[in-house]
Each structure stands twice: as C-alpha cells, then as structure tokens.
Amino acid sequence: MPPVFQPFQETRPSRSPPQPTPGHMERPTLNPGDVCVGCIVWLPSKGLNGPSIRCVNEARCGKELDDGGHNHPVVVLKVRQKKGSSIVGDLICTIACITTFSDTSLSKYSTMRRHKEASIPIYDPETIPLTSGKGLALIQLKLEKGRLKKQSYVRLQHTYRVPVSMLRQYAYRKGRAYKRRLSDVSYNTLMRLLALSPEKYEKTADLIETKDQRLLEQAGSGFPPIIQTKRVQRPAQSTRGAPQSLPYTLYGAINTNPPMSHYVPPNHAYHARNDTRSVYESQDDGGDKSSYPFKLIIGMIIIGLGWWHWRSKSA
C-alpha cells in the first residue's frame, strides 16, 4: 500500500512555556506510603552541603559514598521508622546502589566479571540471555514488570541508610515508587547475597490500600516498647487454723516477720500438752496419770479426814 501524503498544515506555537530538558529537571519526591522493599528509586546528587552517607553493613566499614554513587538509581532493602520519631512518614531506608558500569553490556560484563566488584545484573528483556562458562544460566534479578533504561547491576559490597526525604522517583514523570520493583524471588535472592534478613514482601497490588495502616504502624515503632510491671501483692491471710506458708514476694528476699510456728520440738525435760495444766501436773513422778474420778475421791477423803480431825479437837 503506497504511503498517503497529507497536505502540510502550519502549526501555531504553543503558548505554554518550554519544558526543561531532563538534565535540568528535578525528579518528583516520593510518597512515603509508596516506598516498599524491592522498589527502585533515585538517589540525587549530593550537592555542596549534602550530608555524607556511610556504609552500614555488618562489617561496619563506614566507607563514605563518593560523588559517583550519587545521581544513580538505588534499590530499597529495608524500610524503618526513624528512631525516636513518631511522625508519620518519617522513614529511614536501607539501600544498595545500582550502576551501569559505564554502560557495560551484559555480554561484556560476563567476560569481565572477575575484574568487576561484587555485583549482580538486573535482567533486561531486550538483552539476549547469557550462560556462564560451565553452561549455567547467569543469575539475574528480575523486575515485576517493565525495565530500566539501561542494562544495570546492583553493587553488593556496601549498603547505606538514608531518609526517605532524600530519595526521588526513578522517572521524571510523577508516579508510584513501586512502579519499578524487584519480584519477590529476586528481592529475597538479593538479600541472601547481601547476608541480610529480608523483610515481609507485601503484594504490590495491596500497597495502595495498606499504605495508611503501614505508615501508622511504622510511626508507632519509632520508640521502644513500654514494659508494664505488675505490683506483687501479698497473698490474703486465710481464716483457717492451718499454718500459712512464708509469703516471699521476691527471689532472695528475707521475710522479717515470719509467722509463728505451732510446732514444739521434743524435749525430755518438758512435755507440755496444754497451756492450762497446773504446775503439779508438769512434774513427772514416774507413774500413770490420775483420772478425774480418782482425783475426786482423793479430795473427798482428804476433806473427810480434815473434818474428823477438827471434830476430835473440838470434842
């Protein structure tokens, strides 16, 4: 089918101001509720008075991120509330830097991999898959959807922590931070290579609905949990006659007022049964104890003898 030529029409110049070139545009800021693990965002240039960013990996090398590491994409590894802050959206992100190694292609990267620092490529659907020298497929990280502008690689030597306010969106057009995001499997693979514990990977489709709840939960995690101690109460005194156990309330504490024991140790010199016994009954004469009738008879005999003696004197 031959091409169809249309008559030339003169266009009027647009009245809107000219759009700045990408080199002079600023990338949009991030919505804290859109920031999630695995998303790829942008770390802008440091600037003259920008804060220094230092490595926080397990080795705690403290190496500062040089100017070449700025103005590059980064992948978010962890999202935490700023310590001591309860402001909603005041987040700190753990990140790993992404580089192109000066526009190094995947084929060239595979041959020069030994000379490159520890890194892992991000899969580009427009690049032919490669295999290693042993015929194994080259391990690559994959995005959930879409692609990056260039063949890119994630550096594995250092990780950094930056406030979410410092990060920008990957593209110049305003959108969601999770528009470019590693898949669940790739995120966990990256965390394993970095020797870090992965965080919960929430489904991307649910992020827009759960952002408010996530921000509130993160805002409440900026302070250590408050531990409420329970007051130790002494056990209620029982009305029964049974002896009570020692009411110790703390381990190692000494009870200064122990209850009186009802137990009387055996003693050959003292055999007390009843506190109301007379002094005479407390002496041991070596015989059997008299019963009450016997005592009554003896008493009557003594009284009779006394009466008889009195009558005999009076006579």
* Confidence (pLDDT) at 290: 53
Say which residue, 159 or 3, is predicted with more confidence. 159
* Confidence (pLDDT) at 19: 45
* Confidence (pLDDT) at 146: 92
| Among 33, 311, 31, residue whose Cα is nearest residue 169 | 31
* Confidence (pLDDT) at 311: 76
* Confidence (pLDDT) at 141: 97
- 238 has pLDDT over 80: no
* Confidence (pLDDT) at 235: 62
Say which residue, 270 or 25, is predicted with more confidence. 25
Looking at every residue in the chain, the average pLDDT score rounds to 78
Q: Is 177 helix (H, G, I), strand (E, B) or coil?
A: helix
| Among 31, 22, 27, 25, residue whose Cα is nearest residue 176 | 31
Mean pLDDT, residues 250-256 taken together: 48
* Confidence (pLDDT) at 113: 73
Strand partners, 270: 267
Residue 88's pLDDT band, with cuts at 50, 70 and 90, is very high
Domain extent listing, the chain: 23-219
* Confidence (pLDDT) at 123: 94
* Confidence (pLDDT) at 6: 37
Among 36-50, 153-167, 273-287, top mean pLDDT goes to 153-167
Mean pLDDT, residues 256-263 taken together: 54
Which residue in the block uniquely carries the two structure tokens 């015929």? Answer: 135
Say which residue, 80 or 294, is predicted with more confidence. 80
Note the pLDDT tens digit of each residue in 299-314: 888 888 887 777 777 6
Which residue in the block uniquely carries the two structure tokens 């759009």? Answer: 19
- 64 has pLDDT over 80: yes
Mean pLDDT, residues 245-265 taken together: 51
* Confidence (pLDDT) at 299: 84
Where b means 16+ CB within 10 Å and e means fewer, 17-44 reads eeeeeeeeeebbebbbbbbbbbbbbbbe
Which residue in the block uniquely carries the two structure tokens 């009557």? Answer: 300
Full-prediction pTM beyond 0.85?
A: no
Residue 262's pLDDT band, with cuts at 50, 70 and 90, is low
Q: Is 93 left (phi over 0), alpha (psi -120 to 50) or beta?
A: beta
Residue 157's pLDDT band, with cuts at 50, 70 and 90, is very high
- 194 has pLDDT over 90: yes
Mean pLDDT, residues 137-153 taken together: 92
Mean pLDDT, residues 59-79 taken together: 90
DSSP string, 93-158: EEEEEEE-TTT--HHHHHHSGGGSPSEEEBP-TTSPP-B-TTSPBPP-B-BSSS--SS--EEE-S-
* Confidence (pLDDT) at 133: 58
